[in-house]
Structure 1
C-alpha cells in the first residue's frame, strides 16, 4: 500500500513545481479592473476630440496668424491703406485672407451644382446666373428610345385587338375621360358664377376645326427658325451629353439612346441595370458641364476649386454618400459641402422665415424654413411637376382631335415640341379661357417643316389644374423598379433607417395608403395611431391641438370642385392621392394606418398641392397661431413648374378657400429683383458658398480621407 505523498513531493514528482525566476508572463502593464460603481470619462464629449473640429480650429488659427503677419508687414512697409479695419472676432471665427481677396473675386473658386430631374444648373459662385444644361446623356445603342420593342407611345393610347387606334375620346380609357369631363364641367360652372362668357358649343367648335385643318408644308430654306441638329462625326463618340444629346436625330447613324439619371427626384433605377453605370452617367454629365460651361478643361486645376452641392430636403443617405465620394475622390475638389433646396431658396430670396414651394419638372417639394434651418416635420416631397402638366396637356389636346395625332414624347423632337406648347399656351387665368386659334411648327431632321393650326378651349387651364387634382396625371409607372439598385441605408449600430422622415410626409402617406379591411378603431385608438406615426424623430411630437387646428370639415366652394376635408383622422378622397397600384380602394369609414418603413417605398406621394402646403404649415407652426400666420404670409413659389401665367393668384385663391379664417394673411410671394424662379435655389447656394468666415459645413480632403462619409454627421446643418 502506497503511502500518501506530501504536497512538495507531489509537485516534485508530477513536474508541477515552479522553477522560474518569478518574472511576469508578459511585459505589458497589468491594469486593475475599473470600479463599476464610480467612474467617469470625457471621451467624445468635447469638440476638440473630434478631428473635424480640430482641423477647423487649426485652420482658423493659421489664418489668424497669417493675417497678423500680413498686417505687421504692411505696417513695416508703411502701407496702412492696404489694411482692413479691425473687426472683433471670436476664436472660432476665421479671418478673411486679405491678399487672397485682393487677388481674385469672392466666390470665383467655388462651383455651385444643382441637379434636377430634367435640368442641371451649374456655375461659379461669382457668376450672376447659372448655366442650364439638360440632365441627359445619349449613349450609342442599336435602337433609339422610341424604336425599342415593347415601348408604347407616350402618352399611352388604347388600341383595338387588330392594333388599330380607337377614337380620340376613348384612346385614354374611361377614367381619364370621366375626370377630364368633370373638370371641364366644374370650370364652366365656376366661370358662369364669375359672370364670364361661355359658349355652349365650345368643344364642338374646337373638334370640328381640328378635324378639317390640314398642315402647311414649309421648305427648309424658307424656315427662319430651323433647328441645328447635332451632326455625328466620322468617328462617333461613345456618349454625348446636354443640349447636344437632345438635338441628335432619332434616325441618326449610328443610333443613340437617351438616358436620364435622375427621375422624379430619385435615382433612375428603372432604365439602368447597375448602380455603377447610373452614377457614372451622373459624373460624365457633371464633368462635361464643368469643362464646356465653366471652361475648366483641365482636371489638374480642379483641386483648386470648392463645390457646393444642392440636395433635396428629404434626401436619401446613399445618394449623398455617393455624391460626396464623386466630388472628393473622382473630381478631386479641395472641399465640398451640401445645402438643402428650401434653405437655398431662402438664401436666394433673402427671407428668414418662409414656406418654400419648389415645383420642378417631376418633383414638388414643400418645406418651412425659420432662421436658417429647415423645420424637419414640415418637409413634403410630391412626385409630380411640370413634366406631368406637359403630358396631360398633350393628352387633352389629343382628346379634342389634335391635328398632329402622331405625337410621341419618346421622340426627341416631339418632346421639345410639347415643352414649347406648354410654355406658350398654358395659363391659369380664367379670362384667357376661350376658343382660340394657335399654331406651331413641327421640325424634324431631314424633313420639311410643317406648320399646324389648331383650336383650344379649356385645355390650357385644365392641364396645370392637375397640381390640385393630381389624379388626372398618369402615375402608373413612377414606382417601377424602385429600390432595385439602391437599397435603403440603415444605421450600423441600431439598425434604424438613415433616410430622414417627416411628420407631414408621414401623414400624407398614411392618408394615401390603404387601410386593412378588418380595422375598426374608436376615437381614442385613432389618436394613438397617429401618435405612433410621429415617433421616428424626437422632434415629431404632434400635439392634439395641432390636429384640432387642422380640422376643417366644412365644405368650401373652390375653383375646381371641393377638395377633401382637412381632418387629420379622415382618409382623403381616392381622387386626391394615388395608392399602391392594384390596391383596393379604402372605404370612407376606415382610418388610414401608418405605413411601415418598408411600405413607404411602395406608396407614391401624390397629393393636392394646396392641401399639402397647409399640412406643411400646420406641422411647422405646431399650434402657434402667430407662426401659422407668418408662414401663410411668407409662401414663396419657386421652380420652372410655377411659370404658368396666373399660377400665383390661382394658388392664393385655393388656399384662401381652404382656410377662410386666414384670408388676409395668405400671400404668395415671388422672388425679388425679378429673379427667375428656376435659379433662386442655385443663387442661394452661391450666397452660401461665399460665407467663408461663418460656414462650418466644408468637408476637406484630409478629413474625408480619414473619416469618409461619417463626416456628414458633424458637417451638415441638419440632424443627420
Structure 2
C-alpha cells in the first residue's frame, strides 16, 4: 500500500511549489494611486496664493485708492465759479512708478530713474534710460600684483610663437605651426581663384612684393614733443602705501605695464562665461564684476552716493543662452549689494528688436568674444533657435596679427598681452580689415607705436589679402585659436542643477545642440567586444559615427526640405553612412537634454552662415512662411559686425547655401543710423521706459522672501 503523500511533496512533484526569486512581476513602471486628499486642493492655483502676483494686486489697489482720495480732496476744495477738476480714470495697468516710499513716482519712471546695464566680455555699456546713447567702459579691472599679465607664463607672447631648440625665434612662415600655415595658404589660393573668376586683377607676385617691403623697412623714431597724439598714461604713485588697490575702465588699460607697484588686468567675463582661469575664488570674481559696475555708475552716471541708488530701478541685459547661476548672482548683487529699488531682466536678442523697432527678426550679435544668433517673433525669443558661438571680433584681431607676422610684419615683437600692443592691434584691425574684394591690392600703410617711457615709433608696411582673410574667419572659424577657451572651465563655479533630481538645468536649445553635435569629436567606433561579444553589431544600431568637421554642412538643406515631414534638424553631413539628423528636439543623436560633460567639454564653433541657417530652421520649424520672414529680416549687430562689406558677403554666402530662398535673403542694418554696438542697450532703455504691463519688475521684498524662486514668476521667458 502506497503511503499518503504530503501536500508539499505533491506541489513539488507537480511543479506547483512557489519559489521566491525576488523579481518583480513586470518591468513596466508602476504608478502609485493618487492621494485623493491633496488631489482636490487649490494650492498655488489662484493668483492670490502667489506672493509676487499678490503684491502686484495690492500695489494696484493702493494706487487706485490713493488716486480716489486725491480726486475727492480736489473736489472738496472746489469753490463756486471755478472749473472743476476733470475726472481722469487711471488704467490699473499703468505702473508709472513705484510707491512714494521707494522714491520712483510720476515722470521719474520715464527713464531718469532707471539704469540700463549691458555687460560684455570686453566692454560694459551703461547709462540712464533717458540717455540717447550709453557710456562704454572696458569690462576690466587692474589690481595690485607682483607681476603683470605680460610677465606671466615666463613672458609667453600672444599670439604664441614656436621657437627653435636653442630658444631662438623661428622664421615667420614657421612660427605658428604647420596647421596654420596650411590653412592660411589654402585661404590665399581660394581667394586668388575667386577673384580671377570674378574678373578681378590679381598680380602674380603680390605676396613677394609685400614680404620684401616689410622686411627692409625700418621704423622711424619720433620724439614725444613732436607727437600730437601722444597718450596720457595713468599715473600711479610710487609709494605702495598711497597707490590705489584697483583701477577700472579706460584708466586700467592706460597703466604702464612696468609700473611700480605692478598691476595685473583681470577680465571677469570671457566668451560670455565667467573667467575661471584667472581667478581662484568665485567670491573674488563676483566682487570684481560688482566693482566694475559700481565704479561705472559713480563716474559715468555721476551718482556717487550709494544711498541714492535705492531711488533707482535697473534693467539688466542677459544673454539669450544664459547660465542660471549668472542670473541669480546678478539679481542678488543688484538688490542686496547695490540696493536698487527694483530690477528686471531682458534677453539680448529681444532687446535688439526693441532698440531697432522690429517685431520679428533673426538677430545676429557679433561681439568681441562670442556671437549669438536667435530668432525673435512677436516679442519673444524662440527657445529652440538660440545659438551661442565662442568667437568674435577679438579672434579676428589675433588672427589678423598672426597673418601679418606670417608676412614679415615689421613690428615682429608685438604681444597682445601688453596693454599698448592690445590697443594698437584693435586700432589696426578697425582701420584696415575689410570684406570688399575690390580693396585687395598691395597697399602702403603705417601706424604709430606709443609705449610709456619710450619715444613714439612710426612703422611703414604693406598689406595685401590679410585684411580680407582675417574677417573671413567668421566663415572658417578653424583658422582661429580655440585651444585656450575651455581652460579651467567649471573649476570654481559648478553648473546649476535641479533641486530635486540633481540634473543640470541651464537652458539649451535644439539649434545649439546641432552646433555642438557638428563640433563634437566622433565617439570611438564599435568593436567586436563592445557590440555583442560575437563580432557583430546589435540589430538596429549603426556602426558609423558622425564626422568631426563638416566640409560643407549646407549641401543637403534642399534635400531635407523635400523629404522631411517634421521639424528639420541640423544640417546632415555629406557622409552617406552617417545617421540622418532627427527632427523636433533631437539632432544627430543628441537630444535637448545634452550630456553635461559634452556641454562643458565641447566648444560650440560653426561658420556664421551655418549658424544663421541652423537657427532659422529650428526657429521656423519647417514653416516656409516663417523661414522666408526670418531670412528677409536678418539683423547683424555688435562691434564685430562693423567690418566693411560684411553684410554683402554674408548675403552671398546665404544665397549660395539656400538657392531656393535666394530672393528672400536680406541683411538689415539698425534703423535711424544707430550704432550697431549700442542697439541692445538702446532696446533695454526702451523697455525700461515702457508702462510695466509685463509685470517683470522684481523688488526687494519679493527677493527677500522668495530668493531666486521669484524669477519663475517674473521673467518674460520660461525660467
TM-score class, shorter-chain normalisation, is 0.7 to 0.9
Describe the shift of the 1:35–1:229 C-alpha distance in structure 2 as closer, same or farther (beyond 3 A): closer
Counterpart position of 1:272: 279
SS of aligned partner of 2:672: helix
- Indicate if the aligned counterparts of 2:75 and 2:84 stay in contact, CA closer than 8 A: no
Per-residue deviation, 1:337: 1.0
Counterpart position of 1:232: 236
Aligned positions of 1:249-264 closer than 5 A:
249-264=256-271
Per-residue deviation, 1:191: 0.8
Describe the shift of the 1:501–1:572 C-alpha distance in structure 2 as closer, same or farther (beyond 3 A): farther
Describe the shift of the 1:181–1:136 C-alpha distance in structure 2 as closer, same or farther (beyond 3 A): same
Describe the shift of the 1:67–1:383 C-alpha distance in structure 2 as closer, same or farther (beyond 3 A): same
SS of aligned partner of 1:286: helix
Counterpart position of 1:478: 485
Per-residue deviation, 1:354: 0.4
2:171 to 163, 167, 174: 167
In the alignment, is residue 144 of structure 1 matched against residue 148 of structure 2?
Answer: yes
Aligned positions of 1:607-626 closer than 5 A:
607-626=606-625
The runs of 5 or more residues in structure 2 that have no matched partner are 1-33, 532-536, 547-555, 581-587
Describe the shift of the 1:177–1:550 C-alpha distance in structure 2 as closer, same or farther (beyond 3 A): farther
Counterpart position of 2:551: none
In the alignment, is residue 336 of structure 1 matched against residue 343 of structure 2?
Answer: yes
Aligned positions of 1:204-353 closer than 5 A:
204-233=208-237, 234=239, 235-353=242-360
Deviations, residues 371-405 of structure 1 (Å, cap 9, x unaligned): 11100000000000000000000000000000000
In the alignment, is residue 464 of structure 1 matched against residue 464 of structure 2?
Answer: no
Counterpart position of 2:25: none
SS of aligned partner of 2:110: coil
Deviations, residues 567-586 of structure 1 (Å, cap 9, x unaligned): 8473479xxxxxxxxxxxxx
Rounded to whole Å, the distance in 2 between the matches of 1:522 and 1:690 is 61
Rounded to whole Å, the distance in 2 between the matches of 1:470 and 1:81 is 71
Deviations, residues 137-176 of structure 1 (Å, cap 9, x unaligned): 0001111110124341000000001101000001000100
Deviations, residues 38-93 of structure 1 (Å, cap 9, x unaligned): 96101011121100100011111222222333344445556979869646x4x555
Describe the shift of the 1:337–1:427 C-alpha distance in structure 2 as closer, same or farther (beyond 3 A): same
Deviations, residues 475-517 of structure 1 (Å, cap 9, x unaligned): 0010000011110111112333220010000011112212323
Counterpart position of 2:517: 510
- Indicate if the aligned counterparts of 1:140 and 1:238 stay in contact, CA closer than 8 A: yes
Per-residue deviation, 1:36: 3.6
Rounded to whole Å, the distance in 2 between the matches of 1:545 and 1:444 is 52
Rounded to whole Å, the distance in 2 between the matches of 1:85 and 1:657 is 59
Count of residues in Structure 1 that have an aligned counterpart in Structure 2: 645
- Indicate if the aligned counterparts of 2:571 and 2:614 stay in contact, CA closer than 8 A: no
Counterpart position of 2:713: 714
Describe the shift of the 1:695–1:82 C-alpha distance in structure 2 as closer, same or farther (beyond 3 A): farther
Describe the shift of the 1:599–1:210 C-alpha distance in structure 2 as closer, same or farther (beyond 3 A): same
- Indicate if the aligned counterparts of 1:442 and 1:451 stay in contact, CA closer than 8 A: yes
TM-score under structure 2 length normalisation: 0.85
Rounded to whole Å, the distance in 2 between the matches of 1:137 and 1:311 is 21
Counterpart position of 1:548: 560
Rounded to whole Å, the distance in 2 between the matches of 1:458 and 1:301 is 54
Counterpart position of 1:47: 47
TM-score under structure 1 length normalisation: 0.85
- Indicate if the aligned counterparts of 2:570 and 2:614 stay in contact, CA closer than 8 A: no
- Indicate if the aligned counterparts of 1:168 and 1:401 stay in contact, CA closer than 8 A: yes
SS of aligned partner of 1:549: helix
The runs of 5 or more residues in structure 1 that have no matched partner are 1-33, 531-543, 553-565, 574-586
Describe the shift of the 1:523–1:691 C-alpha distance in structure 2 as closer, same or farther (beyond 3 A): farther
